[in-house]
Amino acid sequence: MAQRRFRRAGQDQRPDRIVERHRLGQRRAALDPGEPSSVYLLLAAALYLIGVVAVTVAYHVPRNDRLGALDPESAQGIAYWGVYLREWVRMNHVRTLASLVAAVLYITALQVG
């Protein structure tokens, strides 16, 4: 299959090169305080890392491990299930909200930038 090439001002305009330049441009925009989108990109990244990744690692994984170690038929397993469910659902709402707000911030960064 022949790959189509697009030329503009002497630049290689293959689609994979365009995407690569676009990604590099976004990376520079996130690091350049003068870019309007940089604030949104950095806030979105921080919110996602703290609100999704950190909550998963620090909160959900230890509870999942504890639940997995209990016998589901035991009195201790049955008693812990209610606590687990209440705590897990509450923090899952936090995680979901953080990921949604991060997505909105990323979209805003694309619109602004």
The tens-digit pLDDT sequence of the chain (113 residues) is: 445 444 445 555 555 554 454 555 555 545 667 778 888 989 999 999 999 999 999 999 999 999 999 999 999 999 999 999 999 999 999 999 999 999 999 999 989 87
Specify if 50 maps to a domain: yes
Give the relative orientation of helices 15-31 and 36-48 as an angle to the nearest 10 degrees.
90
Q: Say how far apart CA 105 and CA 39 lie, in whole Å.
A: 9
Q: Say how far apart CA 20 and CA 6 lie, in whole Å.
A: 15
What does the pLDDT read at residue 66? 95
Q: Which two tokens stand for residue 30?
A: 């996130």
First and final C-alpha spacing in the chain: 35
Specify if 42 maps to a domain: yes
Specify if 23 maps to a domain: yes
What does the pLDDT read at residue 28? 55
What does the pLDDT read at residue 15? 52
Count of structural domains within the chain: 1
Q: Say how far apart CA 59 and CA 36 lie, in whole Å.
A: 34
Specify if 53 maps to a domain: yes
Specify if 66 maps to a domain: yes
Q: Which two tokens stand for residue 93?
A: 């709402």
Specify if 5 maps to a domain: no
> pTM higher than 0.75 for the full model?
no
Q: Which domain holds residue 92?
A: 11-112
What does the pLDDT read at residue 27? 55
Cα 29–41–39 angle (5° rounding)?
Answer: 80
What does the pLDDT read at residue 112? 87
Specify if 2 maps to a domain: no
